[in-house]
Structure 1
Amino acid sequence: MMSAAGAQEGDTNIAIPTAAIGAGLALIGGGLGIGRIGGSAVEAMARQPEMAGQIQTAMIIAAALVEGATFFALIVCLIV
């Protein structure tokens, strides 16, 4: 029979690599999201240079939201 301590050690051994994979996926997703936001903003500024200030403001807000969600996901993965 396996003791309760043995079961907890087995869970810990699989939790660490799983958390690392989750953190990596969260960071990849955040990087792709911010990259798309930046690319779309530059394209929009090239089409309408007179709107560059408003586009840049919206881009910074959207990038901050994506970065915040990515940071939250990273913290959750590392806490596990």
Structure 2
Amino acid sequence: MTRRYLSLRDIAELTGMSLHAIKAIDHRDRLPEPDVVVGLGDMQQRISRGWSRETVDAWWNGYAGTRRGAPGDAGKEDR
């Protein structure tokens, strides 16, 4: 059975964020470590990375909860 992993574009769609925003988060090392890396090169060479849905869900639940104005925060008062 073939396993499917999420790309940066998939993460953007899943979270409702723009691809540009997800790439910026990635460049700041705020995404979780990928679950799979495809390619033999080091980080200087082109490789493909992928994240499981479970990894992304766990990251997003923690990340979104720390962002001001995160989805689901409507009507919450600042503390």
Query: Could you say which TM-score interval applies, normalised by the shorter chain?
Result: under 0.3
The higher relative CO (CA closer than 8 Å, separation ≥ 6) is in 1
Q: Which has the larger radius of gyration?
A: 1
Query: Normalising to structure 1: TM-score of the pair?
Result: 0.26
- Between Structure 1 and Structure 2, the one with more helix by share is 1
- Between Structure 1 and Structure 2, the one with more strand by share is 2
Query: Normalising to structure 2: TM-score of the pair?
Result: 0.26
